[in-house]
Amino acid sequence: MFNVRITVKKIARYDDLIKEYENPIEHACDMRLGQEFISVGGKKPDSFCESAWSSVSPFVWALAHGATDFYDGWMKDPKSAMISCNDGFRPVSFLLETIQETRENDV
């Protein structure tokens, strides 16, 4: 099993859609550009957004278990994936990368 680094690569915000469709909310996203999280054994890192985890977790789990080459060569690095969260108003793009193996006592 492998650990997976999750890096915030891009944060978008669609103010036109927010103004037209979203009910006002005070707190939506804490992600910061360049922020990194480590998934150990395919588990959700502490303080990682629950909604974003719903989008990235299938790919994190697959990478943690040794999967590579999603969609037949989609990524230059076959041990990675670029996945965005499912927030249509403020999508965040994450780079997922397989890093070191997980030791049994880490899981």
pLDDT, tens digit, for every residue of 92-102? 999 999 998 76
Q: How many domains in the chain?
A: 1
- The rounded mean pLDDT for the chain is 92
β-bridge pairing 36-39 and 2-11 = antiparallel
Q: Is the pLDDT of residue 10 over 90?
A: yes
| DSSP label at residue 3 | E
Q: Is the pLDDT of residue 104 over 60?
A: no
Q: What is the pLDDT of residue 29?
A: 85
CA distances from 67 to 36, 49, 60 (A): 21, 23, 9
Which residues span the domain enclosing 58?
Answer: 2-106
